[in-house]
Homo-oligomer: A and B are copies of this chain.
Amino acid sequence: MCQLLAMNCNVPTDIVFSFTGFAMRGGRTDTHHDGWGIAFFEGAGVRHFVDHQAAIASPIAELIKNYPIKSRNVIAHIRKATQGLVALENCHPFVRELWGSYWVFAHNGDLKEFHPVLDGAFRPVGNTDSERAFCYILQTLRARFGDQRPERAALRGVLEELVAGIAAHGTFNMLLASGNELYAHCSTNLYYLVRQYPFLTAELSDEDVTVDFSEVTTPDDRVAIIVTQPLTTNEQWTAFVPGELKVFLDGIPDAPGNAKIV
């Protein structure tokens, strides 16, 4: 199984600390060594890095750990190939454009007998079930809403049905981001936490590193981290309920029936 990591914030924030622990799982503290990738939104633009080397051996992962790229919305993925070859085109996250915005997607899990009809608007380049699911999601959103991006509540409603249908084919823990919005769906394993004032010191579970967030933040900063398995040993992580879709915006999750972020 693969590992997912996302960060959603109210101000541009660097992901160096969380990525440092996460990247250790790519071949050192875990066996996910069939490639990795990360995508950072920066305004409407995206920085997208993929590598089919293990994250611990990758010069590009080394760059990310040392170069604090600031972003309000980030998705990262470490791959353990279950479907599809070890090849660059099969590394998550995947990126496509819809409604004049980039969309970024990563998936953990396996889908069985998932062969939706793709009309050609979005077509997989590689041969994973994950990229197929991403193309199917974007195709369905475009068919449903036409040429205009809908309001977030409408988008969320359609997405909720859509991912439930896909998840019926197996395991579908997934992250989908566009602009400042992050959609996270849990089939089996997904955790999140919100770091906000008063900031504490956190200890990485995968490496002997601590960081005192109060030294690197302002009281107004708010950062949500979403991950397959908790990254730190001394913070309170909340497990998603299987079947749950959450939307994160400005570092806050919403919940069904909760209009906090709308």
Contacts and interface: CB of A to CB of B under 8 A. Distances in A.
Interface in A120-179: 120-126, 142, 147
B101 A45 contact: no
Residue of A50, A67, A100, A101 with most chain B CB atoms under a 10 A cut-off: A100
A97 B122 CA distance: 7
Interface of A: 42-52, 59-60, 63, 66-67, 87-91, 95-97, 99-102, 120-126, 142, 147
Nearest to A40: B88
Interface of A is mostly: mixed
Nearest to A102: B125
A126 B89 CA distance: 25
Contact of A59 (B63, B87, B89, B96): B63
Contacts of A100: 123-125
A89 B125 contact: no
A135 to B, nearest CB: 9
